Structure 1
Amino acid sequence: MDYKCTLDNADSFLNQLKLHRDRKEKVAVLSDLGGWERAEGMIREIVHKAGADYLVLDNGSALDIAKIVAVNGVFKTDCSC
């Protein structure tokens, strides 16, 4: 039987990402940017700018948290793969 851990669509990954940052754990994320894009690394910081929250990884890439569909195997409920 297949099983997929999910996060309700109304929720954000923000709290989960803060927890990974505080624990200094590596994250692997999928973002929906008109197609899925994968990124991974250590979280350098989480910033709020221009009305949105962004995840900044150790390689300097910034990701809009609202566009993230999966973090470390936890997917949003409307995400099909």
Structure 2
Amino acid sequence: MAVNGDGPDEDSSGGGSAAADGPPPPPPQRAVDPVVAPTLLGTRHPVVHRGRPRWTTVGLILVFTAALILYLALRPGG
């Protein structure tokens, strides 16, 4: 206990209250990850068409279409 006033007073508030006296901190900025779907983040971006589809996309569409046609033509009972 400090008698001569060199120490902290009992009536003064201590323990980190200086941060409460200043302005509130700004809200944290959300970084938008391009991998995550924009609808999951609550924002919507316009659809940008970037030209022709990739050849792998066209190839997969052709493979699934051929598989569906073969299934419908060769299925048992059909």
Greater C-alpha radius of gyration = 2
Structure with greater proportional strand content:
1
TM-score of the superposed pair, with normalisation by structure 2: 0.18
The structure that is helix-richer by fraction is 2
Higher relative contact order, chain-length normalized (CA < 8 Å, sep 6+): 1
